[in-house]
Structure formats: structure tokens, C-alpha cells
Amino acid sequence: MVPGKDGDKYVPYEKRCGNESIVYFTRDLSAEGLRKIYSKINQHITGKVAIKLHTGEPHGPNIIPRAWVKSLIEKDLPGAKIVETNSYYDGDRYTTEQHRETLKINGWDFANVDILDEHGTALLPVKGGNWFKEMSVGVNLLNYDSLLALTHFKGHVQGGFGGSNKNIGIGCADGRIGKAMIHTTPGQPDQWDIAKEEFMERIAESTKATIDYFGKNVAYINVMRNMSVSCDCEGVAAEPVVTPNVGILASLDILAVDSACVDLIFALSEKDRAALVERMTSRHGLRQLSYMKELGMGNDKYVLIDIDNNNSRIYPADAVKGVKPFEG
């Protein structure tokens, strides 16, 4: 086994190499906590801003609270738009019309949500990829100057976990072409046949196309709250949450912020981490991290900064110390 190549193997921090990026952390799971941590990574969010957010299936129980997002937009990002794409599966977000109805049901009607593939698709180059030379995204993505990935960190039925990489890689790919490129081998009947390491690599290459397009004008926030092993795509059918709420993390480095979230999960007690760790490893989801590193998308080493305590450096075990069992 080559360290990091196998997506079912967790690589401890001390076995990683390379530079460190900054990741900010707060335990304050509130609208104010979100605003506070955004202020740490907003220096390159300028011009016309897209906020990539998973707005959820109808009545989805675990999505980022709407009131938090509304406060962030009104107070810190006036004029920014939430952006989404239609789903690849046939459901309540499959067409733009269905998607807009779901947005109303879930209370996002305070925002002018831009469904990126409503008016077609565009191809972005994938530099250095093994699977793609280009990725199909919603054409409206090209109308923006900056991207804020505002991600609900949780499990995922195929990806193992969904962090900023999944939010961008699948979430900016359009519903018919881009998502099919990631999920399906052409010419066979199973819509979801691509899995494990290949699936993680395809997600990362899709993400790379989008973040390369935005360059330095991109930032990442991961909200570690209501972390079901199920993705928000599963809506009310999601598995019950059993993992404790942890906090909010943010960085200018996508690999660092996703790595830090995974490390915080592994730093929990065995009982508290069991469900989400099983989901990550059984799906070989940790390949997302090692492949992002191979593609040069960031650092898997980081300095974790506790903004609740005078911006002191802490470690994953410190961040999860004293977490309380999840209460629905």
C-alpha cells in the first residue's frame, strides 16, 4: 500500500509532508459565528460573488440554516448570489422548474438563487487530470468574479464524505453532462457505476476546473453541524444524525479545510466518530484528499487557528474536546 493512495486508509497528520496552510476554527455554530469566520478568509472575495451552497431536497433537515446564510449575505455580501445546479437524478431538483419550487419549500425565496445550468453549459479545462481534459459546468458560473464555497460537511452515500471538494466538484457540474461525466461510464445502464477511488478522483478533477477558473478569488467554509452519514441530496430520507456537532472551519486552501474536518472527525471518541468514519472508509472517500494533493490543489498540513481564543494555535483533539452528544 502506498500511503494516501488507498481511499479507505486514513493518513495521520504526522505522516504527511509539505507546507502548512491556515485553517480557522470556531465552535460558534450560529449566524454570528459564520460571519466571524468569514471575515478571516474574505480578502479575495470581490466583484460579482457566487456562494455555492447545497440548498437541499424538499424539507431537508440538515442543511445550513437559512437564517445564517441570510445574515451573511445581508451584512457581509450584499449583491452576492447563491448558486446551484440541477440534479442528475430524477427528483425534485431535476428540472429548473422543479428546482425553483424546492427552493421555495426550503425557504430560500429570500435570495435570488442562480441555477447555473438553467441556460446551458460551458467547458472549463482540467489541468493535469487523469480522467478529464475539460469539465462541463453550468454556463452562468462564468458570470462571476469570486466563489465562496459554503459547505455543510457531512457523509455521502458514494463519496464517503462531502466537504468543499464535493460541494464544488459535483455542485458546479451541470445536471446532464458534467454530473454524468463524474458518475457514469458511458454505454452501460447503471447511472451510479463509478465509485471508490475513481469517483473521488473525478470529483477532484471537476473541482480543480472550477477553482482554477477563479484563481485566488475563491474561499472555503465548512460547517460541521447535523453531520448525517447521508448527503443533503437524500433529504428527509437521510440517516439519523449520531455524530456530535463540532463547529465551523474556513480556509483559502480547499485541501487544508477538508483535511482538517476529516481530522476533527477522527479525533472524536471512538463511539462518536464510528458512523462517519465507517462511511468515509467503506466508500474509499479519503482518496479525495490524497488526489487533491497529487493535483497540487493545496496542502494537507495546516495550522489550526482558534478564533474563539485569541487566534491561538490548537490541534484537532483540542477542537473536539468537550463536544456534546448530538441532540436532534
pLDDT band at 241 (very low <50, low <70, confident <90, very high): very high
Listed by start position, the domains of the chain span: 13-319
Tell me, what's the pLDDT at 3?
41
- Please report how the helices 270-282 and 254-267 are oriented relative to each other, as an axis angle in degrees rounded to 10: 130
- Encode pLDDT of 124-148 as tens digits: 999 999 999 999 999 999 999 999 9
Region at 220 (left for phi over 0; alpha for psi -120 to 50; beta for the rest): beta
- In the block, cell 438553467 appears at 118
- Residue 2, pLDDT > 60, answer no
pLDDT band at 327 (very low <50, low <70, confident <90, very high): confident
Tell me, what's the pLDDT at 237?
81
Percent of the chain with pLDDT over 70: 98
Q: What is the pTM of this model?
A: 0.97
Measured CA to CA, the distance from residue 213 to residue 183 in angstroms comes to 22
Tell me, what's the pLDDT at 75?
98
Tell me, what's the pLDDT at 234?
81
pLDDT band at 170 (very low <50, low <70, confident <90, very high): very high
Tell me, what's the pLDDT at 256?
98
Q: What DSSP string runs through 229-286?
A: SS-GGGGGGSPPP-SPP-EEEEES-HHHHHHHHHHHHHHS-HHHHHHHHHHHHHTTTT
Tell me, what's the pLDDT at 5?
79
- Residue 236, pLDDT > 90, answer no
| Helix (H), strand (E) at residue 218 | strand 218-224
- Mean pLDDT for 107-121 is 95
- Mean pLDDT for 257-277 is 98
- Mean pLDDT value across the chain: 96
Residue in 159, 234, 228, 166 with CA at minimum distance from that of residue 195: 159
pLDDT band at 1 (very low <50, low <70, confident <90, very high): very low
Cell readout for 23 is: 485553517
Tell me, what's the pLDDT at 233?
87
- Residue 122, pLDDT > 50, answer yes
Beta bridge partners of 156: 160
Measured CA to CA, the distance from residue 35 to residue 75 in angstroms comes to 8
pLDDT: which is higher, 89 or 2: 89
pLDDT band at 323 (very low <50, low <70, confident <90, very high): very high
